A and B are shown apart, each in its own frame.
Chain A
Amino acid sequence: MSYIVLKGVNYSYSLGEGRSLKALKNLSFSVEKGSFVALVGMNGSGKSTLSKLLNGLFLPTNKSGQVIVDGINTKEVDAGNLKDGDGKEITAFDVRKKVGIVFQNPDNQTVATIVEDDVAFGPENIGLPREEIVDRVYSALESVGMMEYAERPVSKLSGGQKQRVAIAGVLAMRPDVIVFDESTAMLDPLGRREIMSIAKDLNDQGITVIMVTHNMDEAALADRIIVLEKGQIVLDGTPKEVFSHDVTVYGLTLPPATETANRLVEKGFAFDTTITNEDELVEGVCKQLR
Chain B
Amino acid sequence: MSEPILKMRRVGKTHGKGAQRVDAIIDIDLDVAPGEFVAITGRSGSGKTTLLNIAGALDEPTTGNVWVEGRDLGDLSRKELAQLRRISVGYVFQQFNLLPALTAAENVAMPLELDGMRPSDARLLAEKALAEVGLGGAGHRYPDQLSGGEQQRVAIARGLVGPRKLLLADEPTGALDEATGEAILQLLRDRCEAGASALMVTHEPAFAAYADRVVRLRDGKIEEISVRRPVPSSTADLIS
The answer to whether A and B belong to the same complex is no
